[in-house]
Chains A and B, each alone.
Chain A
Amino acid sequence: MFSLLAKIARTPNTVIPTAAFIDTDTELQAVGAQLEKKIQKLFRGSLAIRQVDVGSDNAAEQECIALGNAYYDVERFGVHFVASTKHADMLMVTGPVSRNSRAALIRAYETTPDPKIIVAVGDDAIDGGIFKGSYAIEGGVSSVIPVDFNIPGDPPSPKDMICHLLRILGAVEEKNGGNPGVHPSPQPSPREGRGGNTPKGRNAAK
């Protein structure tokens, strides 16, 4: 045990400073409606993320796991991962939504309480990525459930993910005194084939 303690004492702190995530020119891909200011403020203090894997090749998951390590340390922003969709505020969906996991994804979406944010992580989740056009997939998370934000990349690096997260939460705006830096550009979301799931009151809680 003492060697463990000595090692802990000796190892230098390698956490990447917050400034590195805020000063870049990352463009936020907002696909759904704009996030309400009050919800943004609420989640800026504490965000619970549930990572949902719908047929992914695990590349994006590895990067998600790396978010919690001693370099990126996403916990210092008040973000933590939870084990149940009922505890979650944000669903980070990875993978191109294989046909067999379509029902599971809809259930995961329904059991997450409002207000919630759906983020499609990785090119696979956005529109199928390298699997686009395959018979075995639905073709992107937005074809099944309404997505709010995309994080592009195959897979997106933890640095990209944190940059996007901070912008989603409005932490950059807050840091820059209300100036968003780069304006988020809303893109039209393809919503065919969602199975008639139009939840009311999503993000409408005040």
Chain B
Amino acid sequence: MITSTLLIIAQAVLVPALSPLCIGIIRKTKAVMQNRIGASIFQPYRDLNKLFHKDEVVSTDATFIFRAAPFIVFATTLVVAVSIPLLGTFIPHLGTSDLLAVLYTLALGTFFLALGGIDVGGPFGGFGASREMTLASLAEAGLLLSLFAVARIAGTTDLISIPHALLALTHPALLTAALAFFGFFVALLVENARYPFDNPATHLELTMVHEAMLIEYSGKRLGLMEWAAANKLFIFIVLGANLFFPWGVAATLTARTIALSLGLLFVKAFFFCFAIAFLESTVAKLRLFRLPDLLLLSFIASCVAIIFTL
């Protein structure tokens, strides 16, 4: 009982603690590829610290949605944080780690993010919400089916149990996993507003998707929104690392296995961050009407992956 509670708290604390580091690594890699030094990898922590110490300016047009949305978005990332195999497959199953439950809990966050963007009645939040919902609705099928492909191989849709089940297989289904991973990676890019779907560092409102919805937030609410976005990226990276490359995921609660599991997770996450930063430095952002083609490709790859599991 106490161990379970401690494990839950540990995961709920670990995800927000480590997610700004991912963002920092991505920015640092991009800076190095641009021949600059760039900010340190701990800069996002300082940014968040500063934001939490600032006042807020809230528009008079804003309703309770605008004020509540950052808390809801952050809370959904915390709920998902305790439902993913971060420390290992021994964490307690609370009934929220089903793949559909995780995806729709994240969708709850997206819903309030988009509504918060529309709420202030500025021109940017509205079209940011429109684009975000277009991309999110088209991406959902590919993401769901790619995770389902892995669930089929593992024999369970419970995300926490999948890595252990995959390691226990005698015949690893590499082609299926590769195709499903492609589908998943495209969904990771679109859900976290990365290239080629969105530019997280742009200042041109006409090119924004995610940033446009945050444009009216300030102070602690902005801090919560940025942190929630970082959490979501980290959650997707953990899922991508531990579900598709399950080697080293701890199955038992001992210090050695956890240390090995976390260490390997850091290595895998570093590769993911490097891959995202690499994409952002070499590939151009695609035009909005080209993106559904890419999302359809993700869906087809996931479908083919499922067909290969038969």
Contact = CB atoms under 8 A, between A and B. Distances in A.
* A–B direct contact (CB < 8 Å): yes
Interface of A: 1, 4-5, 8, 11, 13-15, 42-43, 45-48, 69-70, 73, 75-76, 78, 80-84, 86-87, 89, 110-115, 205
Given A75-B39, A114-B55, A42 B215 contact: no
Nearest to B31: A75
A46 B46 CA distance: 6
A28 B184 CA distance: 52
A78 B36 CA distance: 13
A43 B47 CA distance: 9
Q: How large is the interface on B (under 10, 10 to 19, 20 to 34, 35 or more residues)?
A: 20 to 34
| Chain A at the B interface: SS class | loop
Given A45-B49, A46-B50, A75-B31, A86 B57 contact: yes
B43 interface: yes
16 contacts: A5-B282, A8-B33, A42-B50, A45-B46, A45-B49, A76-B36, A78-B43, A83-B208, A86-B217, A87-B215, A87-B218, A89-B50, A113-B56, A115-B54, A205-B53, A205-B55
A78 B202 CA distance: 17
B46 A81 contact: no
Interface in B205-254: 205, 208, 211, 215-219, 222
Contact of B46 (A75, A78, A110, A111): A78
Nearest to B43: A78
Contact of A76 (B39, B211, B282): B39
Contacts of B56: 113
| Chain B at the A interface: SS class | loop
Nearest to A114: B55
A113 B55 contact: yes
B286 interface: no
Given A73-B37, A76-B38, A76-B39, A81 B203 contact: yes
A45 B46 CA distance: 6
Given A42-B50, A46-B46, A205-B53, A86 B218 contact: yes
A84 B35 CA distance: 27
B3 interface: no
Nearest to A7: B35
Given A75-B31, A78-B43, A114 B38 contact: no
Contacts of A83: 202-205, 208, 211, 215
A82 to B, nearest CB: 8
A48 to B, nearest CB: 8
Contacts of B217: 86-87
B57 A113 contact: yes
Contacts of A205: 53-55
Given A8-B35, A15-B36, A112-B57, A46 B205 contact: no
B36 A86 contact: no
Given A47-B50, A87-B217, 14 more contacts: A11-B35, A14-B35, A42-B49, A45-B46, A46-B49, A70-B36, A76-B36, A76-B38, A78-B46, A83-B208, A83-B211, A86-B222, A87-B218, A89-B50
A48 B215 CA distance: 14
B170 interface: no
A87 B55 CA distance: 11
B137 interface: no
9 closest Cβ pairs, A-B complex: A45-B46, A86-B218, A83-B203, A46-B46, A46-B50, A73-B36, A46-B47, A114-B55, A70-B35
